[in-house]
Structure 1
Amino acid sequence: MTLANTVLAVNDNLPIRTDSPVHSGKVRSVYWLTSQDSRRLIQQNNYDVAEDTPLAVMVISDRISAFDCVWRAEGGLNGVPGKGAALNEISNHWFDLFKQENLADSHILDVPHPLVWIVQKAKPVLIEAIGRQYITGSMWRAYSKGDRDFCGIQLPEGLSKDSKLPELLITPSTKGVLKGIPGVQEADDANISRQSIVEHFQRFNFKQLNDVDLYEKLLSQGFSVISNALAEIDQLFVDTKFEFGYVKDRSGQDKLIYMDEVGTPDSSRIWDGPAFREGNILENSKEGFRQMLLEYFPDPDILLNKDRMQERFSLAKHNLLPQEALMDLSKTYVNIAEKITGKTLNISGNPKQEIIAVLKDEYGLVD
């Protein structure tokens, strides 16, 4: 078994029965099942959804995306060993904890394999719901330049880099490019204020105004559950991104749920507690890889300046990173997953064949 074989770099070519094109993002691929297979699985497995709910198989890859690019390393290493399994395992752990705490459901109905979810179709809320407990990243960059208004929130004077904020701040941004909303920049990941969301809640796909309060409540509750659990293993939950959407339950009623992944090293900053108390930042998240890229390339502005996207894409396409860069990141993902879950992470030796076998034998989704 070679190192490269343990990596699932291509995840959009599995022979899963579907009558729709495979939707492939930077990390996950989504296979929408036929209506017959969706109904069959709902009935066989007694999923708590309406009987006509479309289902999908969502397969996570081990690809590594940063600064909107996918990165590869020497030696044919086209992803990070263990990354996909780590992200799914961490998300599964938090979603289970959310259920124990009686928070909202998620889009996940079943976990056939460490790299696979069976999910229900949801109508996404067009907001990247970001919670911040420390001032760092883009918030600190804006603050250090003198900005005190961040997403409509007035920040106090005298804050220092990487310090804990007086309270959890919710700083939303756009999910996708939204056009024609007054005061909202027509760009992906553009900061938005709560006032803009309230005034144009339907444009952000909220079904009713009260659901703006609900998403903030679910974000705060979820953030608190994860932060408290991480504190027990002496890790700091710095900031994170949540996503929300609407689904219908078995009775046909709309409900707001958590979508995508939660509390992972890809969607969050997680700092090591002992290092922080000594005045150092030790990242247990993808942020450390991002910082490595900024230091590795002689012109980091390419990675930061959105006006140089074509140069950035070319940089990622034509530069193989040292293999140790992805192996160091693999250690970060695997270690934090095992810390959080308290279990050894199962890294497949041949993930593609394992996925095909389980979806064929146990779910009847491969001809």
Structure 2
Amino acid sequence: MSLADQVLAVNDDLPIRTNKPVHSGKVRSVYWLTEEDSQRLIKEKGYDVAPNAPLAIMVISDRISAFDCIWHGEGGLKGVPGKGAALNAISNHWFDLFKKNGLADSHILDIPHPLVWIVQKAKPIMIEAICRKYITGSMWRAYSKGERDFCGIELPEGLEKDKQLPDLLMTPSTKGILKGIPGVPEADDVNISRSNIEENYAAFNFSSADDIAVYETLLKQGFNVISNALADVDQIFVDTKFEFGYVTDASGREKLIYMDEVGTPDSSRIWDQQAYLQGSIVENSKEGFRQFLLNHFPDPDILLNKERMPEREALARDNALPLDALMSVSNTYTAIAEKVTGRPITLSDNPKQEIIDILGAHYGLID
């Protein structure tokens, strides 16, 4: 069994019964179930959702994206062994912890396989909800050049790189390209202020202005639950991105929930606490891979400059990265997942066939 066989690189070609196009993101693919299959599963499995809620199968891959490109390695390696299973395991662990702490639900209804979620359709809030406890990365780069206003929040003078911020900061940005919102550029991932959201709450998909405070509470609560749990395993939760949406439960009540992944090395920065106390930064997140790429290529500006996207895409397409670089990412992801969950991450010998077998035998979803 070669390493390449154990990597689920292509996840949009499974024979899952669907009558809609498969939506494939950078890492996950979404198969919308037919109305008949959705309603059958809701009844059979007793999911707490509206009887006519659309359901989907979400299959994670082991692909690795950074700087808006998908990267590959030598030896035909099209992803990072164990990465998908590690991401799902971490998210599942945090969602369970949120439930135990009385926080909101997530869009996940069932976990048939380590690489698969069954989810309900949610109406997404069009905001990348970013929370920061330390000043680092892009925020530090902007601050060091004299910027003090971040998403309408004025930062004080005298902050130091990689140090804790005076308060937990919420610095939201747009999710996708939103049109016709005064003061908000029509581009993906643009920083926005709370007043932008308040003045145009419906354009961001909020059902009411009051729900802005609900989303902020859920963001802070989620951050603090994960931060405290990571501190227990000697890790620092530096910053993260959450996504939220609305669903309707079985009783017809609309509620705001957590969507997508939470607290993973893909969506967060996580630092080793012991190393930090000794004055060095050890990244237990994708940030380490980003730094590798910046050092690996002679002209890092290609990776940082959005105007050089065609060159960047060519770099990702034409360069097989050293095997040890991708295995280093694999070790980082599986190690942090095992620390967080307390359970080993095991690699499937043939992940695609396993998924097909389970979804066929137990869910009746394979044609």
Q: TM-score range by the shorter chain?
A: over 0.9
Give the residue type in structure 2 aligned to 1:161: K
Hey, what's the Cα distance between the residues in 2 that align with 1:153 and 1:229? Answer: 28
Alignment pair present for 1:205 and 2:195: no
Structure 1 residue 346 displacement after superposition: 2.2
Match of 1:102 in 2: 102
Match of 1:12 in 2: 12
Mapping of 1:106-145 within 5 angstroms? 106-145=106-145
Match of 1:46 in 2: 46
Hey, what's the Cα distance between the residues in 2 that align with 1:291 and 1:185? Answer: 29
Hey, what's the Cα distance between the residues in 2 that align with 1:243 and 1:310? Answer: 29
1:229 partner SS: helix
Hey, what's the Cα distance between the residues in 1 that align with 2:197 and 2:209? Answer: 9
Hey, what's the Cα distance between the residues in 1 that align with 2:346 and 2:302? Answer: 37
TM-score by length of structure 2 reads 0.99
Match of 2:248 in 1: 248
Mapping of 1:1-367 within 5 angstroms? 1-367=1-367
Structure 1 residue 186 displacement after superposition: 1.4
2:129 partner SS: strand
Hey, what's the Cα distance between the residues in 2 that align with 1:252 and 1:57? Answer: 23
Alpha-carbon deviations, 1:221-258, whole Å to 9, x = none?
00000000000011000000000001101011211000
TM-score by length of structure 1 reads 0.99
Hey, what's the Cα distance between the residues in 2 that align with 1:346 and 1:106? Answer: 25
Give the residue type in structure 1 aligned to 2:328: D
1:346 partner SS: coil
Hey, what's the Cα distance between the residues in 2 that align with 1:16 and 1:30? Answer: 10
Structure 1 residue 138 displacement after superposition: 1.1
Hey, what's the Cα distance between the residues in 2 that align with 1:280 and 1:366? Answer: 50
1:227 partner SS: helix
Structure 2 gap ranges (5+)? none
2:29 partner SS: strand
2:282 partner SS: coil
1:202 partner SS: coil
Q: Give the RMSD, CA atoms, in angstroms.
A: 0.5
Hey, what's the Cα distance between the residues in 1 that align with 2:347 and 2:211? Answer: 39
1:98 partner SS: helix
Hey, what's the Cα distance between the residues in 2 that align with 1:198 and 1:328? Answer: 43
Alpha-carbon deviations, 1:295-342, whole Å to 9, x = none?
000111110011111111111011111111100000000000000001
Give the residue type in structure 1 aligned to 2:251: S
Structure 1 gap ranges (5+)? none
Hey, what's the Cα distance between the residues in 2 that align with 1:2 and 1:344? Answer: 21
Give the residue type in structure 2 aligned to 1:120: Q
Structure 1 residue 347 displacement after superposition: 1.5
1:357 partner SS: helix
